[in-house]
A and B are shown apart, each in its own frame.
Chain A
């Protein structure tokens, strides 16, 4: 393998790589975001514990929904995304509508991610102190109101590292979506390698790009995480001078150094 060849490939094919990066990011980011929304719904519903006094019909309905959701989660976590992609793409293409490949790719990665997110959200909810729920209920809030305003925000904050990890996984694993010929990074690399016959160099460049994308993402994610934790530990101060106090303290820390 020659590094010089690597640079030549980058110089000549950077627009193709850039297009690949763009598609990969679009698919990974939207798939993670939509997957999170799916996960919040599915995980949230699965975490609901009905009151003992709820009507029997509601309890049966909940059981049924739980079973359906469980099947969804098991199927999508238990089969390769590459298989899911071709199967769903062709299933819809031949039976329903000639859909766009990009739409298909985002659809597949979203419901795949949703299955993982549902479990992340559910265990995040279960990790929240049950006393939080009881306090909400004892004030007269419904279980839905308590879930939305108290439990879920804490669950998301606790589960944030795992949620962010899904983005990183998706940046890498979206590469299997090349199977339905979207122009993501792996697909572009294949065609570059096919033209240049420089397989080692091309895929080395590809690997470095993936590494850069995932590294940048984890830096951004840990920044966000720190922000989230900051609000929880803000200083006890009256009114709005809490913020200026925080800044003043920061200044003092710097001065110490």
Chain B
């Protein structure tokens, strides 16, 4: 059974359909990249999976639970990590405290063991030396790596990434992608919204192309990137890939 199962999901804001009958699956250990033009509903889809938005119709099953029926939303969110485009590190806390706060509040760990976990995760993303630094002093790439470590401290079973590199200067994209690549190699289940086509091609087990609230095409990276069936997919890919060459 898939670890995430999205069935006929609909969602609208102010009468405007943003998700219009979305279906897709994510298997355990799979990396699914969600691509598509701006405004196509990719962020909304991720936010629905994390219950930051609720759906109007359809069903999302995660870790064998219908998430709209979940009572303890906080316990559920703990199991599904989320990384945002704008990092959203806690501005009033240093790097280490960013990583231990939820461990202590949600997992009820004591400070010492929370710190151990935090340092371990920070080491993994190469940010252990910055444990005492405040977010405002870090570069975008460093912030995003800390945000990933913070999410990993909760030992999530699934990670959701919403354009993790879109707010970064080009020279910092690589360091964040390499952290995500490491996670993929550890068989973390991930859903990644991204505009980095080369990266999607490299790490994804499955690529889902969304446009205007519906999934137009999905398949292996080879299928989508080398031999797209849909005309819109072709147009979109030629546009972004051209842009990648220019930059």
Chain A residues at the B interface, C-beta cutoff of 8 Å: 51-53, 129, 131-132, 134-142, 145, 149-150, 153-154, 157, 231-240, 242
Contact = CB atoms under 8 A, between A and B. Distances in A.
Interface stretch (B87-95, B191-199, B230-238): B87-95
A238 B92 CA distance: 18
Nearest to A153: B92
B13 to A, nearest CB: 13
Interface stretch (B33-41, B126-134, B169-177): B126-134
Interface in B62-105: 73-78, 81-82, 84, 86, 88-94, 101-102, 105
B150 interface: yes
A231 B91 CA distance: 10
21 contacts: A129-B86, A132-B88, A135-B147, A136-B90, A138-B81, A138-B84, A138-B151, A139-B77, A140-B78, A140-B102, A150-B93, A153-B92, A154-B91, A232-B92, A233-B134, A233-B137, A235-B137, A237-B133, A238-B129, A238-B131, A242-B132
Contacts of A157: 92
Interface in B169-225: none
B132 A240 contact: yes
A139 B86 contact: no
Contacts of A231: 134
Interface in B130-169: 130-134, 136-138, 147, 150-151, 154
Contacts of B102: 136, 139-141
Contact of B90 (A135, A236, A239, A242): A135
Given A51-B73, A132-B88, A138 B134 contact: no
Contact of A139 (B78, B129, B132, B138): B78
Given A239-B132, A240-B132, A138 B137 contact: no
Nearest to A144: B105
A134 B154 contact: no
Contact of B101 (A51, A141, A240): A141
A48 B129 CA distance: 37
B106 A140 contact: yes
B121 interface: no
B154 A140 contact: yes
B205 to A, nearest CB: 24
Contacts of A242: 132-133
Contacts of A150: 90, 92-93, 101
Contacts of B136: 232-233
B67 to A, nearest CB: 11
B143 to A, nearest CB: 11
A232 B81 CA distance: 26
B52 interface: yes
A140 B153 CA distance: 12
B12 to A, nearest CB: 14
Given A135-B84, A141-B101, A236 B52 contact: no
B106 A139 contact: yes
A51 B77 CA distance: 14
A137 B11 CA distance: 21
Contact of A141 (B54, B81, B105): B105
Nearest to B50: A138
Contact of A232 (B54, B132, B134, B147): B134
B116 to A, nearest CB: 15
A257 to B, nearest CB: 25
Given A141-B102, A232-B134, 16 more contacts: A136-B102, A138-B82, A138-B84, A139-B81, A139-B102, A139-B154, A140-B74, A150-B93, A153-B92, A234-B94, A234-B133, A234-B137, A236-B133, A236-B138, A238-B129, A239-B131
Given A131-B86, A134-B52, A138-B77, A145 B129 contact: no
Nearest to B133: A236
A36 B36 CA distance: 48
Contacts of B86: 129, 131
B88 A135 contact: yes
Contacts of B91: 129, 132, 154, 232
Nearest to B72: A140
A237 B132 contact: yes
The 6 A-B residue pairs with the shortest CB-CB distance, nearest first, are A140-B78, A236-B133, A135-B88, A139-B102, A131-B88, A138-B82
Contacts of B78: 139-140
Nearest to A131: B88
B84 A154 contact: no
Given A51-B73, A139-B106, A141-B102, A131 B84 contact: yes
